[in-house]
Every structure is written in C-alpha cells, then in structure tokens.
C-alpha cells in the first residue's frame, strides 16, 4: 500500500512532465531536419542575443527592442513552417508571454510543439561564469526552465546550453549544466592563443570533463567554440546593411551567383577547423530580428540558391537550431578529445586580459552576495513556517526578489560591465525585492513562534557594514534575532552599530556575555552614505552556537559604567612614530599614544613587531605559529595600487584598462606612504588600524578564543574615494606575503565549489605566450584563494564577494579590492568605470577577508570549506523592540552531518510540496573522513513537517532524473555509465523510495521534489 501511495504521489507531482514527454515525440530532436548523407550539411541558425541589461536597463531593452523581436519572429515562423528560431533569455520571453492573447499563446505553443521555435539554455538570463555563486546559478536556471516546463511541457525543454557571450568559462558552471541534463554547450569566447591552436588542430569541439568528483559521464558535456563569436558571418549581416540576395534576373544588381560563391567560400573556410560533416552558422546578433521579415526573406532566397547548386559544391543548407546541430554531430559517432581545466583567464588579443571585471563594481558584487543569502533564508523560513498554506499571495511577495536575482546574474550584471545607470537599476531591483520579501520573514517567525506581537515590528539594518542602523539610532534597549541558514550550529562574531559606550549583552538564557565597544573608525566615518547616522560605536560580542537552520535571541541594554556584565570600552589608540615612513624602519614610541576618535588615554600594549616599509603588517595569528609553522615568518599584509593603462585601444599594445580589462601601466604596484598605525586591545577582539592614505584604511582583527574550532583573523579594508584625474585610474590591491614555498602554484575556487590548481604563466592545454605578467595571472575568486606547501602548511583567504587575484610572486596572494578607470576599453560599454558615492565623489568600498593558516592539508580543507560555507550563509540579524517569547529554535530536528548542507528549501507547486536540494561540501581526497560519502534520512529531518515521499529531479528541477536521457559521446578514455554505476544508482533509487534516505558523494548536489505533512 505504501509503495502504491508513493507512486501515486510521484505521478501527481510530475504529471506535467509525463504529459509533456508524451508530446515530445513531435518535438525536440524528432523535429530536426534530416541531414543529407554524403553532403556537407550547413545548419543555418537564426537567433538573437538579448542582454538582460547592459547599455540600457532590462525594461528599456524590452520596450525599445525585445518585444518587437519576438513579435515579428513569431509572425515569420507562422508564415513558413520550414523556418526555425532559437530564443534564450526567459526574463524577456516570460514578460512577452504574459502580454499575449490566448489565441496567440496557442499558436506559439504549436510552433514549439513542431520544433520551429526552440529554446537554448532557458535560464532567466545568460549568466556570467566568473563572478556568480553556484546557488544563484542554480536558482536562475531553475526559474527559467520551470517557466518553460509549465508553459510548453517537455517540448519547451532546451537540449543545449548557450553561453555565447560570457568572458571566460567555468569548470564548475559547466559541471552544473551537465547535471541539469543538457546535451551540449556552445560558447563564443576563448583565449586567442587557445583558439588559434584549436583551429589548427581541429579541436574546436570537445567533451569537457567538468568534475572529476562527480565523474564521467554525469559531469561531461559536449562543448563547442563558435567559429568567430555568435554573430553572422561577414557579408551576411543583412540587418547591418550587407548586400542582400537579389534573385530577379531582370535586375541590374542580380547577384545570386556571387552570393552563393561568397557563402560557399565562407563555409569551406570554416569547415577546415571542425571535425564533423556539419557546420553551425549563427545568423543573428545583439537585439537582431526587430525586422524578422527582412532576415527570413533573404535567408529563404539564400537557402534556395545554395541548394539549387549543390552538385557544384556538395553543400546542403537548411534552417536549424543548436539542438538539431548537436544531435546531427552526435549521430556521426566520432571520437572527441577531452578537456578537464577551465577557460580562465580570457584574452581576445595580446595585452587584453578580461580580468578587470572580476572586481569591477565591487559594491554591487557584495550586495548581490548578501541578497542571495537573504533570498535563501527567506525561502527556508517560509517553507518551515508553511506560509503558502495561507494562500499564494504570500509567495507572490517573493517573486519580485526571485526575478531581480535572476536578472542580476546576467553576464553584464554582477560582472560589473554595464553602464552606470544600469548598475543603479540592478541594485534598485534587488533592493525593492528584498524590501517586499522581508514581510515573509516577519510572518514566518510570527507563525513559527506564535508571537506576532514581537515579530510584526522586526527590522533589518542593511547598512550595518558601514556602522549605520536607523533602528539602533533610535533604540538603546532591544533584542537581536540571529538566524543561521547553515545546516550545522555556528558561532558568530556580532558587530552592532550603537550610540553609546556601555551595554549589557545577554544570551538566550539571560546570562551576560563578554562584550566590547569600539569607536567607529575613521575609515568608516568618512563613508558618505553614513550621512545622518547617530551611531558612534560598534558593540562586539560572540554569539555562541546558533542552532542549525535556527535562531537565538540576544538582549542588548544600555547600562552605566561599572554595571555587572557591562561592555568594555576600548578606544582606538594611535601609535606615535619618530618620522614619516621611509625606506628604513619605523620607530615606535613605547607607550606614546592617543585615541584617533577618543582623546583619552589607554595603556598601549604592542600587538605587532616594529615594521619596515617592506614588511608592513604582521598577523598575530601567524606570529603565534612561528615556533612550529614556517608561515610564522611570513607576516606581511599591505595595500597598494596599480595605475591603469590609459591607452587609446588603437592597437594591442595600446589596450586600455576598463570595465572588462585589467591592464596596469607597470607590473609592480605603487606603494603607499604609511601615515599612521593604531590599536585596540579588548576582551573580544584586538585590532590594528593602519592609515595608508586619506582614502585607504585597514583594520586587522584577531579574535579572542571563543570556543569555535574554526578560528580565523579578519582584515577589513576601506577604499575610496579613489583619486581621479583625466589621465590616471587606480586599481587597488591588498597583498598577503608568506614564506611558503608555493612553487608558482596557488588555488582558487570556481563559483564557490570546486577548487582549481593554478600555475603562474601556465595554461594546462596550450603553450602560453605571456604578454601581461600581472593581469595574465589573475583568476576569479568567488570565495577562496590559498597557498599550499609540500609539508602540508597552508595559508588561505576567504572573500566576502567575487574578486580577482592571483599569486604574482611565490608565497604571496594578491587580491584586487576596488578600481576606477579613465578610459573605456572599447569592448562595448562605452564609458569608463567611475562609480560615484552619494556625495558625488568616488564610491567608497569596504571589503573584509577572513584569514587563516594551517599545518596540515586535511585541517586546512576543513577550515576552508566550513568557513566558506559560513561566509556565504552569514546569520541574518533581525532587530526587535519587544521581547520574543521563544529565545532559541532549530528548523532541523538534528543538525546535518558536517559535510552536508541544505542548498535549497523552497515552495513548489502547492503548500505541501517542496523543492529540496542537499549538497556534499567536499571534494575527493580533501579530508580523510569528510570527503567520504554520507547518508541522510529525510523523513523526519525538519522540525515542522515530515517528508512523506521524495522524487529525484535533475539539478534544475525540470526533469525526473530516472527518465532523463542525455546523449553520450565517445572519448579516448571511454566513459559512459558502468555496470557498477548502474547498480549503485538502482540501489540509491530503492533507498529513496523505501526509506526516504539519500547518499551524497563528494561534490554531489541532489535535487528532490518532496511531499510533506506539516505537524
């Protein structure tokens, strides 16, 4: 009976998928044109590339251009059943679809069913691959593919991914696309040296083995580099004004023979770099087909003319799609070379490395990262509280944020390569979405605790990072609600803006905890967005053991000095120096000090040794390790900057630094003249403050041992407004020097998941001719960068946003923090990167890095993985005036194993159906215990509901995993599902069906639609 019930539930949940699969016999690959044996088959692929924001906002693009593209394309497809078209960006198509009549929607559904209108990729946008986080990548694809599945069934499912415009390609991103069920991936940009070699050796298409942890064939994806970008071949851009086919013999300008010859010559040239008997010609470009009739009418004539002369050139051309091309190439059963690294960094010519955008618009990158965490937390709590049971109107409050987060992942969004007005629009969309969705948090906590009185007035402080919180400006006594989105208990170091010096902080048991107040530092005080802030201090304390996916409530109350449990006030004490910094040693006067912000005395106890200009700042955490760890002698951190090259872009050697490109004038950064050093000594944190200039300020923090096993130090860096004149742009960095023998090797993460080995001035698959020693060695850092030594010693930096960096010298990590440029780099955006703050001057950016050292690789891996998980999923802090009834609560009945994390908990097609994703946090071989497979029982995992059944889906949740079929590709090493793999998968399916238990293997993300019963 139970098995029958589970089967019935699964059938109900996936009815739309199964119905779509019955339809699919007339669409998908079955709707593709049949290749002509013995001829060279040319797939003419009409498409448009519609940026979801870039030079215009997403709304402007839709109303000025995109709606007319889709309108006219649909009419032309209806006019001729032989025509085909491929569309990509669901943010636009979703909007267009809602505006159509029922009659027009029915006609479009028929076009999809017969394969004339096909979709590629199908995400909300074509996302960036360097600066996006894996959770956001999954979400935005899920959103778009769900719309297609709900609207068109399986006939609307894209068979291939289409990443034709991003500026480099990620291994982890590709592994996720493979796990979403795609059969192929096409891209338009790879390094010019790589492309030259691939053209020469006919390796423009390959099988990308994108995860050695997931393994083949699950993470393998057939991948192809388009010949020369994604636009039409030269001479055939008819919207650009190229000569059309003029087929009336009575015309003086009759040119059929010339156009056929031009076409055949172009095809014969391109076919030399590909291996199969098929060639894909992308016939479209940015925002093309606003006059689809013009394009299709000329293409009809071109196809007819070429095919009429097949006997002379043995070429057949027909309308096609990327999916149909992929199937045709697959069916030739060729042997393909493999790739197992990535495509970063990307350069399109000498001196032109697209590594500036790894950091461009650093404030927007941070905002997107924090918004992502809030988005996930709101989804979690809404599900735990069962808000959708009250009606879909509450879930609708999340839609605006869901769509905003989908849009901003665009490759000219979070990448920072859009015009300034568009960047403002992205930020406004995210802000509006957060504000609308925040009421869901209030409702969720009111529901879960039965305490609407306390939570109806809960507030947030979005500017707490610059010590500005209107709530604490108005309240001296309040409660703090810390929600932990991590699936394990965590410690948190709270830093709350306050007006006064003395407070008592009480934990959930009502016991006073050690706390410390510190004046807001000068680096933060000069941030113009603080205008109107009343907070002059920061209240710092440890929040111990916040439950897994749960909360604790702390109380903060103003108190008189000397009160029991009152906070320790610790002023910022300046350290006098005999003279301004020079190349020699800086002398410190023992005990000579005064407060930077508070003119009162405090005995100064030196934390750091005397500095030389080339030694600068020593981390006390590393200093303490000197006796047993060679990192102990590797002690310096300093800030510096490069001058961006102000070229005119007339030749590669004159390439300018811009929003996309990073090109320093010199390969050695400019050093600041150190201005002042100060310190804070207290029971919670010791700080060293370094004033490098009037626009760069650094705070190094060493926390007291609070019982957390994952100790780290923090480096806060405030940059801006960056000085600017007509000929000088600056790109500001921080360097961490160690004595580790890193042998030109360092490691960076891909989208917050896989770690990739990097070697300076080296590419694994082609011989690099380096033209830029600094920017040519920069890589995207989404969450972590680290150095290892052969004896197991390591040093790591955990970032709070996506940044660019590398290891320019052995034993050193360099990360770019903020940048402005004086030139555009002539790559399309049409303006220099010059962000302004609210005062009209340059934008001030505040960055924090977590730093740690380890003496063994397993210990280092555990620290990195867990801290990176915490760094992304930081506790959400709610501010309340009323005392909550419940002071501690967990959404899990038991914490998940240390190597498992809930990625997604979201409502899905009804109040009792949820989308659940779990991930294994470790790669193979990182840790002897934590890199092992782990089993989790789902049935009674969550505190507020039981899971009755679970059906596994592909990663983007648009196919039942059991029935998903992917094309398999031949490689020299073989591949395909082995007998052992098949047996293991069958066992895991049985485990899921009978016991609602799942096993996760290293780096695996498993996706389920679950039927729940609330308690």
Positions marked active-site:
165
Contact 811, 743 (CB under 8 A): no
Contact 790, 810 (CB under 8 A): no
| Contacts (Cβ under 8 Å, ≥6 apart) of 687 | 518, 572, 679, 680, 699, 700, 701, 702
Contact 661, 647 (CB under 8 A): no
List, as one string, the DSSP characters of 734-764: EEEE-----TTEEEEESTTS-EEEEETT--T
In angstroms, rounded to a whole number, what is the distance separating the alpha carbons of residues 293 and 285?
A: 16
Characterize the bridge pairing of strands 573-577 and 160-163: unpaired
Max Cα distance, the chain (Å): 102
What does the angle CA 458 – CA 461 – CA 467 come to, to the nearest 5 degrees?
A: 145
Contact 793, 629 (CB under 8 A): yes
Of 58, 65, 45, 49, the closest CA to residue 164 belongs to 49
List, as one string, the DSSP characters of 24-62: GGGSGGGGSPPP-TTSEEEEEEEB-B--SSSSS-HHHHI
Residues 97, 98, 103, 108: what is their CA dihedral angle, to the nearest 10 degrees? 10
Write out the two tokens for 863: 């620290």
List, as one string, the DSSP characters of 459-494: B--TTGGGT--HHHHH-SEEEEEEEE-SSS-EEEEE
For the chain, give the number of residues.
1015
Write out the two tokens for 830: 């049409």
CA distances from 334 to 30, 337, 420, 968 (A): 21, 10, 47, 11
Characterize the bridge pairing of strands 573-577 and 913-920: unpaired
In angstroms, rounded to a whole number, what is the distance separating the alpha carbons of residues 618 and 616?
A: 7
> DSSP 3-state assignment of 374?
helix
What does the angle CA 875 – CA 880 – CA 884 come to, to the nearest 5 degrees?
A: 90
In angstroms, rounded to a whole number, what is the distance separating the alpha carbons of residues 611 and 939?
A: 58
List, as one string, the DSSP characters of 549-570: TEEEEEEEEE--TT-TTBPEE-
Residue 262 gets which letter from DSSP?
A: H
Angle formed by the axes of helices 2-13 and 15-23, nearest 10°: 60
Of 27, 164, 25, the closest CA to residue 84 belongs to 27
Q: What are phi and psi of 17, to 5 degrees?
A: -70, -45
| Contacts (Cβ under 8 Å, ≥6 apart) of 596 | 519, 521, 522, 572, 573, 574, 676, 678, 689
In angstroms, rounded to a whole number, what is the distance separating the alpha carbons of residues 611 and 592?
A: 16
């Amino acid at each position: 009976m139970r098995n029958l019930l589970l089967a019935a539930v699964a059938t109900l949940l996936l009815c739309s998928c199964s119905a779509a699969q019955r339809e699919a016999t007339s669409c998908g690959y079955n709707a593709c044109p049949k290749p002509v044996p013995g001829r060279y088959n040319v797939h003419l692929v009409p498409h448009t590339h519609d940026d979801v924001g870039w030079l215009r906002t997403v709304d402007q693009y839709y109303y000025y251009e995109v709606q007319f593209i889709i309108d006219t394309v649909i009419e032309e497809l209806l006019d001729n059943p032989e025509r085909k078209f491929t569309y990509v960006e669901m943010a636009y198509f979703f909007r267009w679809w809602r505006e159509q009549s029922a009659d027009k929607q029915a006609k479009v559904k028929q076009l999809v069913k017969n394969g004339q209108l096909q979709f590629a990729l199908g995400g909300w946008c074509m996302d960036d691959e360097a600066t996006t986080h894996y959770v956001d990548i999954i979400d935005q694809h899920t959103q778009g593919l769900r719309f297609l599945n709900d609207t068109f069934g399986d006939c609307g499912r894209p068979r291939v991914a289409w990443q034709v415009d991003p500026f480099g390609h990620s291994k982890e991103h590709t592994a996720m696309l493979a796990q979403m069920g795609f059969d192929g991936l096409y891209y338009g940009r790879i390094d010019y040296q790589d492309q030259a070699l691939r053209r020469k050796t006919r390796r423009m298409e390959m099988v990308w083995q994108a995860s050695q942890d997931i393994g083949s064939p699950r993470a393998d994806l057939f991948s192809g580099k388009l010949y020369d970008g994604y636009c039409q071949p030269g001479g055939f851009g008819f919207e650009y004004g190229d000569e059309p086919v003029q087929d009336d013999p009575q015309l003086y300008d009759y040119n059929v023979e010339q156009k056929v010859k031009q076409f055949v010559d172009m095809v014969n040239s391109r076919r030399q770099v590909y291996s199969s008997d098929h060639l894909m010609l992308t016939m479209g470009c940015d925002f093309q087909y606003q006059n689809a009739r013009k394009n299709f009418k000329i293409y009809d004539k071109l196809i007819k003319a070429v095919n009429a002369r097949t006997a002379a050139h043995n070429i057949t051309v027909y309308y096609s799609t990327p999916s149909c091309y992929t199937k045709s190439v697959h069916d030739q059963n060729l042997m393909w070379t493999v790739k197992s690294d990535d495509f970063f960094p990307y350069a399109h010519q000498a001196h032109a490395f697209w590594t500036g955008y790894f950091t461009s618009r650093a404030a927007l990158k941070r905002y997107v990262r924090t918004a992502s965490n809030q988005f996930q937390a709101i989804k979690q709590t809404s599900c735990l509280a069962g808000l959708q049971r009250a009606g879909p109107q509450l879930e609708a409050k999340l839609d605006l944020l869901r769509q905003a987060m989908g849009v901003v992942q665009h490759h000219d969004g979070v990448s920072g390569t859009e015009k300034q007005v568009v960047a403002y629009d992205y930020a406004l969309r995210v802000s509006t979405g957060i504000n609308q969705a925040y009421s869901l948090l209030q409702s969720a906590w009111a529901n879960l605790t039965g305490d609407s009185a306390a939570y109806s007035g809960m507030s947030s402080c979005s500017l707490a990072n610059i010590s500005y919180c209107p709530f604490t400006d108005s309240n001296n006594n309040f409660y703090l609600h810390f929600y932990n989105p991590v699936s394990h208990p965590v410690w948190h170091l709270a830093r709350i803006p306050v007006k006064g010096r003395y407070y008592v902080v009480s934990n959930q048991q009502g016991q006073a905890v050690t706390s410390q107040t510190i004046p807001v530092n000068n680096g933060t005080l000069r941030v113009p967005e603080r205008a109107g802030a009343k907070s002059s201090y920061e209240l710092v304390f440890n929040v111990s053991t916040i439950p897994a996916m749960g909360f604790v409530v702390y109380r903060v109350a103003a108190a008189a000095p000397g009160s029991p449990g009152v906070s320790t006030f610790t002023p910022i004490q300046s350290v006098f120096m005999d003279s301004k910094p020079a190349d020699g040693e800086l002398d410190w006067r023992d005990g000579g000090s005064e407060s930077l912000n508070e003119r009162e005395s405090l005995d100064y106890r030196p934390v750091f040794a005397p500095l030389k200009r080339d030694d600068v700042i020593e981390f006390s955490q590393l200093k303490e390790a000197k006796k047993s760890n060679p990192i102990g002698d590797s002690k310096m951190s300093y800030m510096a900057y490069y001058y961006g090259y102000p070229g005119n872009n007339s030749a590669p050697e004159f390439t300018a630094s811009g929003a996309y490109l990073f090109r320093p004038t010199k390969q050695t950064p400019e050093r600041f003249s150190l201005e002042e050093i100060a310190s804070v000594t207290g029971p919670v944190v010791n700080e060293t403050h370094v004033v490098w200039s009037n626009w760069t300020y650094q705070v190094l923090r060493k926390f007291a041992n609070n019982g957390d096993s994952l100790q780290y130090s923090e480096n806060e860096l405030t940059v801006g407004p960056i000085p600017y004149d007509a000929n000088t742009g600056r790109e500001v960095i921080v360097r961490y020097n160690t004595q580790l023998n890193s042998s030109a090797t360092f490691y960076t993460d891909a989208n917050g998941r896989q770690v990739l080995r990097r070697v300076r001035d080296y590419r694994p698959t082609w011989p690099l001719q380096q033209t830029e020693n600094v920017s040519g060695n920069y890589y995207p850092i989404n969450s972590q960068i680290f150095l290892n030594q052969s004896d197991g010693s390591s040093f790591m930096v955990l970032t709070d946003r996506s940044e660019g960096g590398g290891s320019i010298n052995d034993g050193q990590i360099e990360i770019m923090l903020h940048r402005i440029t004086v030139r555009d780099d002539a790559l399309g955006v049409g303006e220099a990167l010059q962000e302004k703050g609210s005062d009209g001057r340059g934008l001030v950016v505040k960055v924090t890095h977590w730093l740690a050292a380890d003496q063994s690789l397993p210990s280092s891996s555990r620290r990195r993985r867990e801290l990176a998980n915490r760094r992304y999923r930081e506790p959400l802090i709610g501010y309340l005036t009323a005392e909550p009834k419940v002071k501690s609560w967990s959404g899990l009945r038991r914490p998940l194993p240390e190597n498992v994390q809930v990625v997604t908990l979201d409502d899905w097609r009804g109040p009792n159906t949820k989308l659940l994703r779990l991930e294994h946090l470790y790669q193979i071989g990182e840790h002897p215990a934590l890199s092992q497979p782990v089993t989790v029982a789902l049935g009674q995992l969550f505190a507020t509901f039981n899971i009755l059944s679970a059906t596994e889906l592909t990663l983007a949740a648009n196919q039942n995993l059991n029935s998903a079929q992917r094309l398999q590709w031949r490689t020299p090493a073989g591949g395909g599902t082995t007998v052992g793999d098949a047996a293991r998968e069958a066992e895991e399916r049985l485990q899921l069906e009978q016991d609602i238990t799942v096993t996760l293997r290293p780096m695996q993300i498993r996706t389920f639609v679950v039927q729940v019963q609330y308690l």
